[in-house]
A and B are shown apart, each in its own frame.
Chain A
Amino acid sequence: MSLEQQQRDVLQVKRLQVQFKTRDGIVYAVQDLSFHVAPGEIVGLVGESGCGKSTAALALMRLVPKPGRIVGGSVLLNDRDILELSESEMRSLRGHEVAMVFQDALTALDPRMTVGRQIMEPLRIHLKLSPKAARERAADLLAQVGIPSPATRLNQYPHEFSGGMRQRVMIALALSCGPSLLIADEPTTALDVTTQNQILNLLVKLKDETGAAIVLITHDVGVVSKVCDRVVVMYAGREVEIGGTRDIFTAARHPYSRGLLESTLMLDGDRERPLEAIPGLPPELIDLPPGCVFYPRCKYRSDQCKTASPPLEPVANVHEAACWNWRSLNA
């Protein structure tokens, strides 16, 4: 890969802001989210429920449901800002240049349509394949994601597939038109651990084969450590830390990232010692107080944190954290 290609990111998100106008006030679901993804790279968006990671994923497809609205920032997909596109231009992009894998394959697939028809649909629409060619391509795709006897399986309905197989169908569907970006929103959360392992390995294998970039949304720190090249840690709609996966796991500089890692259950380590739980609860995203969103739960807080929200600043090579006191967190 040449240097020029390396520098050409598939996705560049800059200061993305999503808000929901509700009766009770404005919900700041995503605030100033910025990151980029290179071809063949897996970037994880990690955080707990309500941190805005799924809303961010939907925003990348311009699918934020009402009353949500993207109010600021830009989303450059192959150097084109998708926030400027018309709805019809956007439709020709979805499923073609950018595709999505959802958490729950049973609700994401149409129960009344055979799996074959569902995979053929984008091939017919975006790639204008003939019915015969689309069918052949669909069978190839099923084989590629590891579904045995693909020709027969094409004629079956989603309920005839097991959970893991359904998720494979979703991945085949998402990859059908050769997207340059795949957004996977908790793709393995509903699966058992042995199946989860299979699906994660499959995603990595397909990414290596196709060179697609992947944005992986997950709450599972273990999944991130297994497959992601870089990580964005989100808390209360904000990006609190971004960096290489290993850097974040071994030298997190934001107190929330560190708390999240320390409270994660491990297969090794001292099991007699109490876990380092983060006290308290995440804040409501309505009318956030000024200052750092993590202030009420933070061990390292100081007076400054109460009044001013910390910006992301570099803490190491390609590693940024949004904390006034990151220097007091030892690497």
Chain B
Amino acid sequence: MTTQPEVLSVHNLRTHFPGPALGLPWQGRTTVRAVDDVSFSISHGHTMGLVGESGCGKSTVARSILQLVRPTSGQVLFEGIDLCKLKPKALAPLRKQMQIIFQDPYASLDPRATIGFTIGEGLLIHKLVNERDLRQRVADLMLMVGLNPAFENRYPHEFSGGQRQRVGIARALATNPKFIIGDEPISALDVSIQAQIINLLRDLRARLNLTMLFISHDLRAVRYLSDEVAVMYLGKIVECAPTDLLFKQPAHPYTQALLNSVPKPRWVDGRQIAEIKGEVPSPLNPPSGCYFSTRCPHVMPRCKQEQPALVEVQAGHKAACFLLNDVSHPI
């Protein structure tokens, strides 16, 4: 798509977890296919948005990339190195290049550590500064995310949610990473604070030339932060396209349903769009064929039997739906 080199590429990533036992001990256990055959890549300086409803596996993708859970199979290439093959010791020095911002600004900060310590800890662990320069570097980071450096000795409980999220961002940026994952970084925040944090992330991304994976359940947030968007449903990517294209011409019925479900003013949208029925099936027992077939308004007999592959609808725009095969890719 671009001439920029890929910072991250994920090939056929699968992360499965053991589920509940099937019954008797020798019958074994069920498997939860949290991430099932996911592939995508992000080029330098770009942001990929990963969107989906709860339980679709988007956070597991993040954790699998960072090897916080070890994937079952597949490749995670970070600048050409397959992270899945690395032993923890070999992985450790690479971690400073890849950082994550978590959703919950309350749970993700150590309540007994000053925020100055929290922000600077990674710098010391990776021996990026000596003790003498640490304070200056922490102060620089705090300024960069819009915190007053005089607060370095304060504890997380003394800050509001938005300020804590700024601490989380400063901590992630401390080691000068090339690649940042934001796992629902604005979901726990109030509307006016969300806007502040989105602006901050956009500003930092441009200034530091960061490559990002931005995970959210909120299509609106994804739209403001991503160059490309991948939509996940039950562990699979069902559609992937450049942001404007995805929002203007969603190809997959699930993406269309998601977009239609975002509340809109009554006076803007007079016509009632049929709501999508039912709920996400259990990942323990996904439907046969296309996973979306149980809720899809366009379901055909074929959808119940076969799983559609992700195919190119047009340049850079992929979707996994038989409807598209029939129309633009006759077999």
Contact = CB atoms under 8 A, between A and B. Distances in A.
Interface in B34-93: 53-54
A164 interface: yes
A274 B201 CA distance: 11
Contacts, number: 114
A193 B224 contact: no
A196 B263 contact: yes
Contact of B219 (A164, A193, A278, A281): A193
Interface string A246-271: 10010000000001101111110001
Contacts of B202: 274
B217 interface: yes
Given A226-B265, A271-B243, A278 B192 contact: yes
Interface in B212-262: 217-221, 223-224, 243, 247, 257-262
Given A198-B275, A201-B275, A267-B219, A225 B263 contact: yes
A314 interface: no
A225 to B, nearest CB: 4
A48 B247 CA distance: 28
Contacts of A259: 192
B31 interface: no
Say which size band chain A's interface belongs to: 35 or more
B286 interface: no
Given A267-B220, A275-B224, A196 B261 contact: yes
Contact of B262 (A162, A193, A271, A274): A193
Contacts of A197: 260-261, 263, 275-276
Most buried by B among A164, A220, A274: A274
Interface residues of B, number: 41
B276 A194 contact: yes
B191 A264 contact: yes
Interface of B: 53-54, 160, 162-163, 190-196, 198-199, 202-203, 217-221, 223-224, 243, 247, 257-267, 275-277, 279-280
Interface of A: 48-49, 162, 164-165, 192-198, 200-201, 219-223, 225-227, 245-246, 249, 259-260, 262-267, 271, 274-279, 281
Given A222-B264, A265-B224, 10 more contacts: A196-B263, A200-B263, A220-B191, A245-B266, A246-B267, A260-B192, A266-B220, A267-B219, A275-B195, A277-B193
